[in-house]
């Protein structure tokens, strides 16, 4: 393996996964992202001149025409849009052009010829079929093996294979992700499960106006969740306050952001599904950007470009930074690796206090 691992990050979003690679001491000269606010976010969080290629649309990118003097890619990462696969999207279309970007990823892998790769998406990906009724998951895994890759050793049955809980890898949520790791050099292994993160200290700081010093605040908030009519607290809700779906996060009933989040002050004018929590006075409010960052383990110093709506949307479509760190660590040069808490500069449980204290 080279002294420094060279990575390419496709469907990079706000660069949350890129943060995990950066903490492993990798260089990331190729970054692909189509959304302009996310591209600006990536730029302001990347060292000057560190990105050699910054394509907007993966469909327009061809590794065949890469200049000979560009760095050879060791690791390719693909985190395609999940809107077509997630069960949280009642209008999902697994045959859409966006869904079939999975096959663009296979084209890039064939052209770029990396030694290692990581592919990530939501749990619904494993059940999704293309316009020819073929399972994306089956086609993806078959194609990667045919290119000479060894798939990560996972002894579980096909139903559970390559499905991992965020809660097992230092993230304060228990969403299930499909993560396929492969290498031409060796058979990758599943990262060791980490102790679950105590989300209580973060909940203690949820409230801007009070209760921040109350050590029992997290339990009080949890009790409130359970007592709210229709259990809409901490769920996607529509303009009538009717719950759509929710994700239970470790030791709480907190949820991740859904699409359509933005500057929504009250229940009365909600026109899209959003995520709400409760303030000191008992009123609903939209979950804050710092809280979402903490839920996804995005470092506190990661700056966000765009409007408030852009930031909410961008943070709602991320692969938790620490999960990328844990799954990609086996490809990194050990001498380049920075411990995660050292890289972020603080512990996750303490991070939210930087915003509210």
C-beta neighbour count of 318 within 10 angstroms: 26
| Confidence at residue 198, expressed as pLDDT on a 0 to 100 scale | 53
Q: Name the pLDDT band for 288 (thresholds 50, 70, 90).
A: low
CA distance linking residue 74 with residue 71, whole number of Å: 9
pLDDT band at 312 (very low <50, low <70, confident <90, very high): confident
Give the residues across from 335 on adjacent strands: none
Position with higher pLDDT, 88 vs 54: 54
Instruction: Average the pLDDT over 311-326 and give the result.
Output: 89
288 or 249, which is more confident: 288
Report residue 92's pLDDT band, with 50, 70 and 90 as the boundaries.
confident
> pLDDT-derived band of residue 286, with 50, 70 and 90 as boundaries?
low
Query: From CA 139, how far away is CA 217, in angstroms rounded?
Result: 48
pLDDT above 70 for 185 = yes
pLDDT in tens, 201-257: 443 333 333 333 333 433 443 344 333 323 333 444 443 444 444 433 322 233 333
Q: How far apart are CA 217 and CA 201, in angstroms?
A: 9
- pLDDT tens for residues 162-178? 999 888 898 877 778 99
pLDDT score of 90: 58
**Residue 331, helix vs strand vs coil:** helix
Q: How far, in Å, are 21, 178, 266, 346 from residue 337 at the CA level?
A: 9, 25, 45, 17
Instruction: Look at residue 89 in the predicted model and tell me its pLDDT.
Output: 61
Is the pLDDT confidence value at 279 over 70?
A: no
Higher pLDDT: 51 or 156? It is: 51
- What pLDDT was estimated at residue 293? 81
Domains and CATH numbers, the chain: 6-196+319-346 (3.40.50.150)
- Short-list 347, 96, 81, CA closest to 201: 347
Give buried/exposed letters for 202-215 (b at 16+ CB in 10 A, else e): bbbbbbeeebeeee
The sign of the torsion formed by the CA atoms of 63, 119, 180, 83 equals negative
- pLDDT band at residue 87, thresholds of 50, 70 and 90? low
What is the pLDDT at residue 355? 38
pLDDT at 217: 39
pLDDT per position as a tens digit, 337-349: 999 988 987 555 4
Task: Over range 113-135, report the average pLDDT.
Answer: 93
Please tell me which of 24-38, 94-108, 146-160, 303-317 the model is most confident about, judged by mean pLDDT. 24-38
Q: For 6-62, what is each residue's pLDDT tens digit?
A: 999 999 999 999 999 999 999 999 999 999 999 999 999 999 999 999 999 999 999
pLDDT at 18: 97
Can you tell me which residue has the tokens 């909600």?
Answer: 270
Question: What's the pLDDT score for residue 138?
Answer: 93
Distances from the Cα of 166 to the Cα of 15, 178, 197, 319, 347, angstroms: 18, 10, 10, 10, 17
């Amino acid at each position: 393996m080279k002294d420094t691992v060279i990575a390419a990050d496709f469907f990079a979003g706000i660069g949350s996964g890129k943060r995990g690679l950066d903490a492993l001491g990798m260089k990331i000269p190729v970054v692909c992202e189509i959304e302009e606010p996310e591209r600006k976010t990536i730029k302001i969080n990347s060292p000057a001149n560190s990105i050699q290629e910054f394509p907007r649309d993966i469909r327009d990118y061809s590794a065949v025409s890469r200049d000979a003097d560009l760095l050879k890619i060791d690791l390719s990462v693909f985190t395609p849009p999940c809107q077509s696969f997630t069960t949280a999207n009642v209008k999902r279309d697994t045959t859409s052009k966006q869904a079939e970007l999975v096959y663009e990823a296979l084209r890039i892998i064939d052209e770029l010829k990396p030694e290692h790769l990581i592919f990530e998406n939501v749990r619904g990906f494993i059940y999704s079929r293309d316009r020819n009724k073929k399972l994306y998951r089956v086609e993806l895994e078959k194609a990667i093996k045919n290119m000479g890759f060894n798939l990560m050793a996972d002894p579980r049955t096909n139903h559970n294979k390559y499905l991992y809980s965020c809660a097992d890898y230092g993230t304060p949520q228990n969403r299930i992700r499909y993560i396929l790791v492969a290498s031409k050099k060796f058979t990758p292994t599943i990262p060791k499960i980490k102790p679950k993160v105590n989300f209580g200290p973060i909940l203690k700081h949820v409230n801007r106006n009070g209760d921040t010093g109350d050590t029992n605040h997290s339990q009080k908030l949890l009790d409130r969740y359970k007592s709210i009519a229709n259990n809409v607290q901490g769920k996607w809700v529509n303009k009538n306050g009717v719950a759509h779906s929710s994700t239970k996060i470790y030791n709480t009933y907190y949820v991740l952001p859904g699409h359509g989040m933005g500057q929504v002050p009250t229940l009365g004018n909600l026109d899209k599904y959003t995520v709400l929590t409760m303030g000191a006075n008992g009123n609903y409010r939209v979950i804050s950007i710092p809280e979402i960052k903490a839920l996804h383990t995005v470092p506190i110093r990661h700056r966000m470009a765009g409007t408030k709506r852009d930031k909410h949307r961008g943070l709602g479509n991320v692969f938790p930074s620490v999960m990328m760190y844990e799954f990609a660590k086996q490809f990194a040069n050990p001498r380049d690796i920075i411990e995660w808490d050292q890289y972020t500069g603080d512990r996750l449980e303490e991070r939210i206090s930087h915003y509210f204290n």
